[in-house]
Chains A and B, each alone.
Chain A
């Protein structure tokens, strides 16, 4: 089996320099829309193209609530006055108070990942975290199969009716202190599934969220940023946010 060892060494270091330095490779993020100055008519046209109600008009400026963006790119590709697009990936927000993990947990946390009805892409991006490109072990993050060892509950998916009990069981089985990191637009607000009677409107309907990572799906770097925000090692971004309507109330 020695050829595997040599092969592994020969591959060299692929790991991203983030968070020490920004990642500059192409294709690591789908980007997010940004607000811009538009007059009322143009703004309405832009808002009409968006199926996810990301944009709202405030003081002659179109503001983008990126937590709702589902990456359909219609605002950029078919709107007459397209939205600006930002190829960033530091997206994580903290909706409430400081999470305040005690310092013992800053450098090494175990993450329990729960798929609460995810379409597969968020989960695939979470799986990429263990990929040599991202390798979250170097940051002290470990994915654990059991909630008993977990400090962070990472939820993807809109929380389907069938999964909500399991999600609560996982949360209850975790020791304190514990944080909930909601990853992806579905976990934040239900995304395209919010209106379904078989889904809750995101994790908020079931559990308190500590860190929100928008994106559909958020790229691995955005998830890493979310975890760094959860442990207090990076600052959250400040975004204009509007409260969600509670979903899951039926069509």
Chain B
């Protein structure tokens, strides 16, 4: 039985790669006009295979391991699919399925000669991403990782004609990615040297014997290496540039699937291969995560380019996830398995959620850009009148990312904030302080996120149309609407049913934390649940009095209440049920509607009047708030962070008192650019100038050097190991 299910999973995995390969082949022979269909069909099927493989592994609860080939001196290359990989495979599949439909529809619309290259590269990237998640050893992992970096880079610079800054952004993406890879390689080499093997299972087995120096070195290297890919401050300056430069068909994949790779690497190395001891590394992750979240949301709130806003918001969400990881690492290191499990579950939950709603939002942003020709919120407005369905789906995304119930963002952010409260059980006052500061930072982030996405939706979709460059904005086609509504439904589902999601994530987290969060978070209130009788009867009674058993005859599972259970003296930290909440919300809305429409206004006619405009003769679009104006208070409050420099501050006039123009231009340098990127670049440039005879001073040359260095390292390792 076991063997057959593992074999089935293997078939599915093989099918995934086969589908990617078939897609590539089909794309090579298919005519130009058909490329969109090829991409959509092959991408969707491949994504479906990923979903199947991931969910089968999660449902069966069995790890799967398949050695491939043995390489001389490097050990055996292995495919390994454990529960953690399965979670990532599943979410990648869920993202790639709608993203492929959207990318295909975009290709159809344009039918450009480069469509074939795009299709081939994208399917190859899918395969590389899939391979990363199922690598069972460092060598295969790094190989797949490199492939992924190169395919992503090629995809970003793919539409260079439309995007002049694409090449620069692409080089930066590649250079930073390779710098990160270099660090990751060093980290893996350290692990491999100390464990005597590059196989993940072997490293995991040997990890408890590592000394503190090795641990710290591995942590710092991997944290930097994968942090670059994930977009952690201060090494995320490539991210807004790359996202803005990437084509709108590719950005959803970049944000929904590629971003998770960094987080996967982080989690795999620092929690999976080498569980933390002590709170040091976790603390660094916690602080870095919080700072990343704050910086991300501050820039997201004050930017006006739709894509750049979403990019900064990705940074913010990565920050939130890493904060959760950090909390989990601290709990693991201080031997608190249950809080650690809660922290990891919350972080993974948020990671899944972010992938879904960010893909949804990027698809919506792509549709807006392709119809209106602009991404500038100061020029958009009133789109809901022209594309109501797309606007509705986009609204679901903005509500989710703003963490409003009953959508998924709320559940995971709530869980992460709850995790912060568990720091009360820790003994170190310094760590407690860090936790409370991180909690405050995340709360501020959540508040600013609401501001940010109120701005995005209000300025982009509500109000008056600000500019009529492309007056024929129409409702989005099914190639956009279907992916958006699929993702919107997933956002709603994951928001309503956390009591099914948390148990599903439980097995993935158990090996990392050493405990399951399921019992701590989802008590089996349903009598049909097998664990029901393990609950204390008085406890059950209390909650059944509140209605926690409602639905037990209709639904399987443990219950519908998420309950944060603490220790003996504090059994319930917080309880909520998004499902019941949503039902009550719907009932209240309906009741309000009924009361107002049927009872309070019975016998009266409903009058609709135009908005009150102060009696002005004509209210014109230029008399309404702009996106800049909306976020200006945030900009003013956080002036010390943004440090705008006045580029121009002039006033022109004829005679002395008739001004004809007041020009003001402020330049804001991205905080990370200002503090890290530009100084580092300046130093590099100075070195480059001194070595000018050898170098051209071009960024891509550096990228080439990094690649060469990587190869040298691997060679060195071969020599080193053979002699050892």
Contacts and interface: CB of A to CB of B under 8 A. Distances in A.
Contact of A166 (B609, B610, B615): B615
Nearest to A163: B615
Contacts of B615: 163, 165-167, 169-170
B607 A175 contact: yes
B599 interface: no
A170 B607 CA distance: 15
B639 interface: no
Contacts of B609: 172-173
A147 interface: yes
A242 interface: no
A148 B607 contact: no
Contacts of A172: 609
The listed residue with most B CB atoms (<10 A of its CB), out of A163, A166, A169, is: A169
A174 to B, nearest CB: 9
B645 to A, nearest CB: 40
Among B607, B609, B613, max chain A CB count under 10 A is at: B609
Interface string B434-463: 000000000000000000000000000000
Interface in B403-430: none
A176 B605 CA distance: 10
A146 interface: yes
Interface string A140-184: 000000111000000000000001011101101101100000000
A173 B612 contact: yes
A27 to B, nearest CB: 35
Interface string B602-623: 0000010110110111000000
A247 B616 CA distance: 25
A147 B617 contact: no
Nearest to B617: A165
Contacts of B616: 166
A24 to B, nearest CB: 40
B354 to A, nearest CB: 40
A175 B607 CA distance: 8
Nearest to A175: B607
Contact of A176 (B607, B610, B612, B613): B607
Interface residues of A, number: 13
Interface string B6-29: 000000000000000000000000
Nearest to A168: B615
B614 to A, nearest CB: 8
Given A175-B607, A176-B607, A148 B612 contact: yes
Nearest to B615: A166
Contacts of B617: 165-166
Contacts of A176: 607
A178 to B, nearest CB: 11
Residue with the greatest number of chain A CB neighbours at <10 A, chosen from B607, B613, B615, B617: B615
Nearest to A147: B612
A170 B616 CA distance: 10
Nearest to B612: A173
A118 to B, nearest CB: 15
Interface string A182-203: 0000000000000000000000
A146 B614 CA distance: 8
A166 B616 CA distance: 7
Nearest to A114: B615
Nearest to B611: A173
Nearest to B616: A166
A172 B608 CA distance: 10
A146 B609 CA distance: 14
A163 B614 CA distance: 12
Contacts of A167: 615
A172 B613 CA distance: 12
Contacts of B610: 173
Nearest to B605: A176
Contacts of B612: 146-148, 169, 173
A175 B609 CA distance: 9
Contacts of A146: 612
A131 B613 CA distance: 29
B612 to A, nearest CB: 5
A148 B613 CA distance: 11
Interface string B579-621: 0000000000000000000000000000101101101110000
B482 to A, nearest CB: 41
A221 B613 CA distance: 32
Contacts of B607: 175-176
B440 to A, nearest CB: 32
Interface string A217-251: 00000000000000000000000000000000000
B622 to A, nearest CB: 20
A146 B612 CA distance: 8
Contacts of A175: 607
B611 to A, nearest CB: 9
Interface in A7-65: none
Contacts of A173: 609-610, 612
A95 B344 CA distance: 76
A35 B607 CA distance: 47
B17 to A, nearest CB: 63
Contacts of B613: 169
Contacts of A170: 615
A165 B617 CA distance: 7
Nearest to B613: A169
B134 to A, nearest CB: 61
Contacts of A163: 615
A176 B613 CA distance: 19
A111 to B, nearest CB: 16
Given A166-B615, A170-B615, A173-B609, 16 more contacts: A146-B612, A147-B612, A148-B612, A165-B615, A165-B617, A166-B616, A166-B617, A167-B615, A169-B612, A169-B613, A169-B615, A172-B609, A173-B610, A173-B612, A175-B607, A176-B607
Interface of B: 607, 609-610, 612-613, 615-617
20 contacts: A146-B612, A147-B612, A148-B612, A163-B615, A165-B615, A165-B617, A166-B615, A166-B616, A166-B617, A167-B615, A169-B612, A169-B613, A169-B615, A170-B615, A172-B609, A173-B609, A173-B610, A173-B612, A175-B607, A176-B607
Q: When A and B form their complex, which 9 residue pairs have the shortest distance between CB atoms, in order from nearest?
A: A166-B615, A173-B612, A169-B615, A173-B609, A148-B612, A172-B609, A170-B615, A146-B612, A165-B617
Interface of A: 146-148, 163, 165-167, 169-170, 172-173, 175-176
